[in-house]
Amino acid sequence: MKNDYPSRWVRARKYEVISGMTAEAIKTARSRGKLIDGVHVKLGPDGNLWVNVPEMDAWVESPHQLSAHAA
């Protein structure tokens, strides 16, 4: 499978620029267990929060996400 991403892991602030999901929203989703450490996000050895871009795309596209019409 070809990776279409320049980098698999990016800092949360960079992911905010890429996706529009703020670093604070990422931290909140992580603390609520909606994002899994080591899969979607992780703390790097530099102490920064890193985001796995392909896994976040899969999370957003997953069928368990409710649409505005279903809610």
1 in any annotated domain: no
Per-residue pLDDT of the chain (71 residues; tens, 9 = 90+): 455 667 899 999 999 999 999 999 999 999 999 999 999 999 999 999 999 999 999 999 988 655 444 44
71 in any annotated domain: no
2 in any annotated domain: no
67 in any annotated domain: no
70 in any annotated domain: no
Q: Residue 49's domain spans which residues?
A: 9-61
56 in any annotated domain: yes
Q: Residue 5 is encoded by which pair of tokens?
A: 């991403």
pTM assigned to the model: 0.78
Tally the domains of the chain.
1
- Residue 20 is given by DSSP the state S
Q: What is the CATH number for 45? A: 1.10.1660.60
Residues 6+ apart with CB under 8 A from 3: 54
